[in-house]
A and B are shown apart, each in its own frame.
Chain A
Amino acid sequence: MKWFNRKSNLDEMQELQLLKAESRGFWIGFIGLAVAMAVQTFLYGAESMGNMVSGEFIVFLCMGLYLIGSCLRNGIWDRHLKATPAVNIGLSLLAAAVTALFDAILSYRNYHDAFTALTVFVVYFLIISVILLVTLTVCSSLYRRRRKHLEEESDDSEPRE
């Protein structure tokens, strides 16, 4: 195969630019999938989650799980945020509020009942914030253990690729 070269055609600067382009492409895809699922769910109702957007949801889930797995394996948490309980609580509440608000709007659109929408908001907010807080706490604990392990091993062994 003459058109395929096992050795990279790129130099280090081009490699870096390609990585940046791929990274941006990943985030466009990730956020795009989330927006597409939200719009489809809003337009066609919550039942569309079960059939219309299941493909998108599986891809979205795989992207997220791969990113979390890779970051934890390499002892990376975030560029700007620290893995502290206060940050985890803040993020859980924020994400739960956004998700619960979306579900409350969907509920109001379907049933035209403010009390039901408010109940949906409160219940979803509580459930999602607890699930997220537990997930973030477990992940940050795994991250700290991995970080500690990498710090200890880097003293007397070759660094990982």
Chain B
Amino acid sequence: MKNLRLKLARMEKDMSQTELAKRVGVTRQTIGMVESGDYNPTLNLCIQICKELGKTLNDLFWEDNDNEMV
């Protein structure tokens, strides 16, 4: 399942995948795979990403009927 909310939050901050990856200490490939839904990040990485993008875990990673990831 693609995480479009993460992609949107990153674009709102005008940040490339490479830049976000550098800031949270992973490779660009990892960010790409999180956004495309091919990799489930650990809670630590989720928190790091949220901190860098100024969002909460709920904003980016919580998934329910009203707040579904595409």
Question: B residues within 8 A CB of A16?
Answer: 39
In the complex, identify which listed stretch (B5-13, B24-32, B60-68) lies at the interface while the others stay far away: B24-32
The B interface is mostly helix, strand or loop, or mixed, namely loop
Q: Encode contact with B along A78-114: 1 for CB under 8 Å, 0 otherwise.
A: 0000000000000000000000000000000000000
Q: Could you tell me the distance between the alpha carbons of A12 and B33 in the complex, rounded to whole angstroms?
A: 12
**Is B15 part of the contact surface with A, judged by Cβ < 8 Å?**
no
The A interface is mostly helix, strand or loop, or mixed, namely helix
**Is A154 part of the contact surface with B, judged by Cβ < 8 Å?**
no
Question: B residues within 8 A CB of A12?
Answer: 26, 30, 41-42, 44-45
Question: A residues within 8 A CB of B44?
Answer: 12
- A sample of 10 inter-chain contacts (CB < 8 A) reads A11-B30, A12-B26, A12-B30, A12-B41, A12-B42, A12-B45, A13-B27, A13-B29, A13-B30, A14-B29
User: Across chains A and B, which 5 residue pairs bring their CB atoms closest together, nearest first?
Assistant: A11-B26, A13-B30, A13-B39, A11-B30, A11-B27
Question: A residues within 8 A CB of B26?
Answer: 11-13
Of chain A, the residue at the smallest CB distance from B33 is: A13
Of chain B, the residue at the smallest CB distance from A12 is: B42
B residues 10-53 near A (Cβ < 8 Å) are 25-27, 29-30, 33, 39, 41-42, 44-45
Question: B residues within 8 A CB of A13?
Answer: 26-27, 29-30, 33, 39, 41
Question: A residues within 8 A CB of B29?
Answer: 13-14
